Amino acid sequence: MARMINRLNVRAVDTLTRPGRHADGGGLYLSISPNGGRRWTFLYRWHGKPTEIGFGSARNVPLAVARELAAQARKKLAAGENPKQVLRYATEATFGACAERLIAAMRPSWRNAEHARQWETTLRRDAAALSRLPVDKIRTEDVLGVLQPLWLTKPVTASRLRGRIERVLDAAKAHGLRPQGVENPARWRGHLDQLLPRRPRLERAHHAAMGYVDVPSFMLELQGREGVAARALEFTVLTAARTGEVLGARSSEFDLAEGIWRVPATRMKGGRPHSVPLSRQALEIVTALQDNRQGEFVFSGRKRGQPLSDAVLKNLLRRMKVGPVTVHGFRSSFRDWAADTTHFSHEVCEAALAHTIGSAVERAYRRTDLFEKRRQLMEAWAAHCTLPERGKVLAFRR
């Protein structure tokens, strides 16, 4: 009988590629789809009707676990019970399944796909040891086993991972998959903070910025370079916008006749729509690229339909050999210039950077985004950025 119900082995499960059902016996099959997807299924008859239960992906559920689930199903059938509901709970109540459901539920609230990718990476890779465990069986020692190897060597990753594990277990509890009144084993305050060593406090690092007096000469050199990357960086400096906002800019966001770039809330860090007044120089860049663009993105990358990568701008700065300067640092250059050399108010300068101004009450009563004053500010900044380089003699015709 053993040979009839244990036909597969671990190597076969990893190497089989032919689409179809591969029987392990006793109703258990490894099902391989035409596109290569691999999952466990259990086939049986209930009141004469063929019925199928999924035991999950073969990537997450090992052969031994799938056999144990099949054995439980056969016991239920022998007792005259339908195993479908019982085993659905068993497969859906693993940490990995709960993590996938939480990510799917949160995905619409995230402003970009990068958040989902980071959650998926940390939970699948760094919390792989928890993936197959039932959420109601996860204990403090299980969480510590995941966190301790990273806690001192990769403190930022470990801290984010702990918070995400905590969220998954809280969500599982809300779904009734963990008992009420039981401490979340990933909780920090009053729990893990007593078991893990306290890390030294790290000072917040500022983005390396270029002095605003050096920006005109940098822009002069940048304007002499060809390519979309150079124009994207030039536009970023002129608008004092964040890198992600610029690289994700779509043609539909620009009103060239009015000289306005309207960035939707979904692409803004603060989650609010932001209108950017375009200086003459910034408008010229967009207008020129609109005529030659490929796809919806203004600053198109090499792959059709994809924007430039932020790494392209970083590499451009490195090739220009301007020292320890970051793309984001040009926002600081702009802010320092505005504070030192102009009479524009603090509110106008902060609004130009899409920063939150004042308290919630003040924002509730403010009915203007200071757009016209910001237009004057950005024209003045563009004029500063395009000053002739100091020390150069320019020849004028008679």
CATH of the domain at 73: 3.30.160.390
Residue at a domain's end among 92, 109, 131: 92
Looking at the fold, whether 235 and 378 belong to one and the same domain comes out as yes
Looking at the fold, whether 377 and 234 belong to one and the same domain comes out as yes
Q: What is the pLDDT of residue 223?
A: 92
Q: What is the pLDDT of residue 81?
A: 87
Do 151 and 197 meet the contact criterion of CB atoms below 8 Å apart?
Answer: yes
Residues spanned by the domain of 218:
212-385
Positive or negative: CA dihedral 177, 183, 185, 187: positive
Both structure tokens of 129 = 């040891």
Looking at the fold, whether 117 and 81 belong to one and the same domain comes out as no
Say which DSSP state 233 is in: H
Looking at the fold, whether 170 and 296 belong to one and the same domain comes out as no
Inter-CA distances, 58 with 30, 55, 65, 67, 73, Å? 8, 9, 10, 12, 18
Task: Provide φ and ψ at 52, rounded to 5°.
Answer: -130, 140
Q: What residues form DSSP beta bridges with 260? A: 255, 277
Both structure tokens of 282 = 């910034």
The Cα–Cα gap between 128 and 136 comes to 17
Looking at the fold, whether 267 and 334 belong to one and the same domain comes out as yes
Task: Provide φ and ψ at 81, rounded to 5°.
Answer: -110, 150
Residue 104 lies in a domain: yes
Looking at the fold, whether 120 and 44 belong to one and the same domain comes out as no
Residue 204 lies in a domain: no
Looking at the fold, whether 343 and 311 belong to one and the same domain comes out as yes
Residue 276 lies in a domain: yes
Looking at the fold, whether 349 and 227 belong to one and the same domain comes out as yes
> Per the confidence metrics, is the pTM higher than 0.75?
no
How far apart are the two ends of the chain, measured CA to CA in Å? 104
Residue 183 lies in a domain: yes
The Cα–Cα gap between 16 and 24 comes to 13
Q: What is the pLDDT of residue 92?
A: 66
Residue 69 lies in a domain: yes
Question: How many of the other CB atoms lie within 10 Å of CB of 373?
Answer: 18
Both structure tokens of 138 = 């996860």
Task: Provide φ and ψ at 238, rounded to 5°.
Answer: -65, -35
Closest by CA position to 198, among listed 164, 152, 142: 152
Write down the number of H helices and E strands in the chain.
17, 7
Q: What is the pLDDT along the chain (398 residues), one digit of tens a residue?
A: 445 788 999 898 989 999 999 999 999 999 999 988 888 999 999 988 999 888 877 876 778 878 888 888 898 899 888 887 656 655 667 898 888 888 888 888 776 666 778 888 889 889 989 988 888 889 999 999 999 999 988 888 899 999 999 999 999 888 777 888 889 999 999 999 999 987 655 444 456 889 999 999 999 999 999 999 999 999 999 999 999 999 999 999 999 999 999 999 888 887 789 999 999 999 999 998 886 666 788 998 887 778 888 889 999 999 998 888 899 999 999 999 999 999 999 999 999 998 876 555 455 445 567 899 999 999 999 999 987 644 444 444 44
Looking at the fold, whether 74 and 155 belong to one and the same domain comes out as no
User: Can you tell me whether residue 153 is helix, strand or coil?
Assistant: coil
Residue at a domain's end among 69, 92, 115: 92
Q: How far is CA 90 from the centre of its chain?
A: 30
Buried b / exposed e over 187-205, threshold 16 CB at 10 Å, is: beeebbeeebeeeeeeeee
Task: Provide φ and ψ at 42, rounded to 5°.
Answer: -125, 120
Looking at the fold, whether 87 and 100 belong to one and the same domain comes out as no
Do 88 and 74 meet the contact criterion of CB atoms below 8 Å apart?
Answer: no
Q: What residues form DSSP beta bridges with 40? A: 30, 56
Looking at the fold, whether 86 and 217 belong to one and the same domain comes out as no
Radius of gyration of the chain (CA): 29
Residue 244 lies in a domain: yes
The Cα–Cα gap between 215 and 212 comes to 5
Residue at a domain's end among 67, 92, 117: 92
Do 196 and 144 meet the contact criterion of CB atoms below 8 Å apart?
Answer: yes
Burial (CB count within 10 angstroms: exposed 0-12, middle 13-18, buried 19+), residue 119: buried
Looking at the fold, whether 76 and 120 belong to one and the same domain comes out as no
Q: What is the pLDDT of residue 2?
A: 45
Residue 66 lies in a domain: yes
Residue 202 lies in a domain: no
**Number of domains making up the chain:** 3
